[in-house]
Amino acid sequence: MRALRPHLFLLLVVAIFSGNILVGKALTELPPFTISLGRVFIALLVVLPLGFHQARRAMPVFRRHWRPLLGLALTGVAFFNALIYASLKFTSPTNVAILESLIPVATLLFSAIVFGERFRWLQWGGVGLSFVGAVLVIMSGKASVAMAGGLNPGDLIMLLSVMIWVGYSMLVKRYMALFPRYGGLLVMLVIANLALAPVALLEGAWQVLPQLAGDQALGLLYLGIFPSVVALLLYNHALATLGPTGAAVYLNLLPVFTMFGAFWWLGDPILATELLGAVVVVVGVWFTLVPPRPAR
């Protein structure tokens, strides 16, 4: 049972991340930065007792490395999810999940460009397949809102969100080990709250949040507790056991969970082009993550 635990944790993580997209879609009546501010504020309250003492002891480290700390907070904690919620106003949860699953491929590309890492032909083939799948998804024309040429603005916003997460991943690779786990997350959540608050106030958060309906408040609680804290802890535990490649493979299931969740909960139809695009993206990402065979 102990050997199965990290695999079960990762399946639960994928379900929680899928729920993040589906609940975000259900809350699209709320402004996107207001949703994101509510999420990070609730997460701050949850992490505060876990990370307060770590953060206080690590203050000299935070002051010494404030630039990467600020970059980590603004990219991965603040604006990545804010753009996801903005994209959901225009496009479907399935499209968002498929495009989000491109993150490992985009990270591989930028690792090659920025860090000069070398990859095998199989991995580059996976990059090409994932790109084709993403084009199929973007051109599926499922959502009612479209720009000239049939492009959906939500899909383009989601691609920007993926690029922001790639930047976050680059910072994680180089700097995250400098900060304590819970204390670092606590400080990043404080920065994210300060960064999102002015934008959310411009959206009218000071009027919207006090008038939340019961189901909207429950949705924000879910976003603040499960994707922001619980999934992070489960993913880190599985990562320590299976390694980054073994853990990342499970995230390929995100489009599948979200597609059928949107069909069951939101009544979204499943288009043939969407299904085909999801399969192509998943296969492409799988190729980029397949480890090389050990030399004899």
Q: Which stretches of the chain score pLDDT less than 70?
A: 1-2, 115, 117, 119, 127, 134-135, 137-151, 239-240, 242-249, 285, 288-296
Q: Which two tokens stand for residue 51?
A: 């990370």
Residue 137's H or E segment, with its range, is: helix 121-138
Give, in degrees to the nearest 5, the angle at Cα 94 between 88 and 98: 105
Contacts of 124 (CB under 8 A, 6+ apart): none
Degrees to nearest 5, angle at CA 139 with 137 and 144: 100
Query: Given this model, what pLDDT does residue 172 score?
Result: 81
CA-to-CA dists, residue 103 to 1, 160, 252, 277, angstroms:
31, 11, 10, 15
pLDDT at 147: 45
What integer pLDDT is reported at residue 5 of this predicted model? Answer: 82
